[in-house]
Amino acid sequence: MTTVTRRGETVNLNGDLPPVGSKAPDFSLTRTDLTDVSLADYAGKRKVLSIVPSLDTPTCAMSARRFNEQASALGDTVVLNISADLPFAAARFCETEGIDSVEALSMMRDRQFATDYGILQLDGPMAGLTARAVLVLDGDNTVVYAELVPEIRQEPDYDAALAALEAID
């Protein structure tokens, strides 16, 4: 069983991130306008999946702002910020923070995403939410970069994710 920590306490996850070289599992997530999307909606585009427990935490907010500034400037790329937040809260967050180049997606209707991606927190105070992770997918949904952040309150390695993104043909 994979584990991460939160404030130094061990948190068990339900599985493992999809490994580099594998196909990313499909998903059904909800946009801020309440429409549902899947990986097929982003066919042919490079994708950054910035997975966070909730946008309503300082580290998650920093991550959304950072990817909004950096990764969104790259062509043929979509940055998906995925959390358990309701679409209304995600929309309000993005509007307040001026985040306009990152698409916020919610697990509101389908928590299967967290299970399929191996990042569902099974215990601890945030059980039922995701751990923090970043995946970079090529246009065919092959995982080219995967990072499970070891401490939930820690930011991901933005430089490594962006380098993997830029290395995609």
In the chain, % of residues over pLDDT 90: 67
Strand partners, 51: 82, 133
From start to end of the chain, where are the E strands? 3-6, 9-12, 29-30, 36-37, 46-51, 77-83, 102-106, 133-137, 143-148
pTM > 0.85:
yes
What confidence score (pLDDT) does residue 138 get? 96
- CATH superfamily, domain 3-167, is Glutaredoxin (3.40.30.10)
Banded pLDDT at 90 (limits 50, 70, 90): confident
Catalytic residues: 60
Alpha carbon distance 71, 51 (integer Å):
15
**Higher confidence at residue 70 or residue 32?**
32
What residues does each domain of the chain span?
3-167
Contact 156, 147 (CB under 8 A): yes
Strand partners, 168: none
pLDDT, residue 72, reads 63
